[in-house]
Chains A and B, each alone.
Chain A
């Protein structure tokens, strides 16, 4: 999460979660917990924005997989956006990109959410 920015934003029916600067520690579970909290409130469209994230490591991957599983369990949809190349390469390497859609920016992802049928399950 960029300094001074909120950790989440709700835009219509989309919940945007801003990931921390580093998702390389079990503290990163906060992101998973926050996502779970919104899912419990009934959120069906989740966007995780990584534009403020410099590093995702294996712990981060594990957290993101846990998050995707929770989204699936709640029959919701999650998009990722703003991933730096190095981070995209990592989530691609471990196969996460096979399961969710990744966008260059938050705006692109939000536009996609507006498209009919975007709430298809991941």
Chain B
């Protein structure tokens, strides 16, 4: 015989009756503790809200229930969790469909004042104010509704049906539901804040993107203006920028630093703005005074750029020292090896490489083989071996088609065969 059929049903009434037994109290205290854990847990919101609804329904043995979240802008309640209501879509599933609820202004205003659950079968004024919203709630078999309010902000509502046990809701139940609703409100409030924060973040990110675009466009315009002073160096700054970035990436620099050297590459010759155009374009050897003026461009560039607060570090110094040589024979500071900022050593190589592989007023461009011979000749003299090695790696990768975005080889004005390049590079010091 069934356990629960051994005694007359009346005997069971003692246990399931409305009186507050110790077992009932312990069950409810446990549920409140678990609900507290749930709403403060870092779990996914949809899971938290679903578990919270299940706890409410289990506590009051309701078979149908739904939690709506309120969107103040749309003035609409949308389901975020439901159970036992096929019209809401997947049982217990979060949002994404189902019945939406709209309340009129009077009901919304009244809802803010409702700290206790509302019995839809009762006579409270708000029940009459619900208007068409009441019909929706009736369709969902709702008997009790509790509004989720935090700091005078309406966040949503919970609706549950009659008790499965057949009992009526007691005052104690109403108070308990009110406490549970308050806990669930915190979770909904956190989610609302998070949603707003994400929306603000996305807005700011978009703004930042636009600002960055303007910033980059300005810098690119600068670079174009710099190169325009010299008919022969058209595109030089853009190529140096691109070569610097790919080489820095090969050397394992982080994204921010790669971006920094990319910008430095665009601006490294900005000091040439102060140099007379006739000197820059002179085909014959420069006089010592002209040479001094031309060689002043890294310092002039440094002075211009050091007044700008860049979001990347080292740009002014990379500009100042991009004509230094590791043997200390460069200019303007005659720095040696590690004294020269690494970015400037990178720039020194790619700047010279681009100068060699493009036509100049005083000589035609060198072939790739000739340029690499020159790099080899100046290995560990003008150029830092720690920079030359990764540079060769980049070239090899681009020639072998291993690079997703080749940045150097496409700019060389000659067709390079793998075997030939391999021969050129093979006897490079490793």
Contact = CB atoms under 8 A, between A and B. Distances in A.
Interface of A: 24-26, 29, 57-63, 65-66, 68-69, 79, 88-90, 92-99, 101-104, 112
Nearest to B35: A58
Given A95-B165, A101-B2, A101-B4, 19 more contacts: A26-B54, A26-B92, A57-B55, A58-B34, A58-B59, A59-B55, A65-B57, A65-B63, A90-B27, A93-B15, A95-B16, A95-B163, A95-B164, A96-B164, A97-B3, A98-B9, A98-B165, A98-B166, A101-B5
Contact of A98 (B12, B31, B56, B57): B12
Nearest to B91: A66
B27 A103 contact: no
A69 B85 CA distance: 11
Q: Is the interface of B mostly helix, strand, loop or mixed?
A: helix
B275 interface: no
Contacts of A99: 164
Contact of A61 (B4, B23, B61): B61
A61 B58 contact: yes
Interface string B50-71: 1100111111011100000000
B173 to A, nearest CB: 12
Contacts of A88: 3
Interface residues of B, number: 37
9 contacts: A62-B57, A62-B62, A63-B58, A65-B58, A65-B62, A90-B23, A93-B16, A94-B165, A95-B164
A58 B58 contact: yes
Contacts of A89: 15, 23
Contacts of A62: 54-55, 57-58, 62, 83
A102 B16 CA distance: 16
A93 B23 contact: yes
A65 B62 CA distance: 8
B58 A92 contact: no
Nearest to A97: B4
Given A57-B34, A95-B164, A99-B164, A26 B47 contact: yes
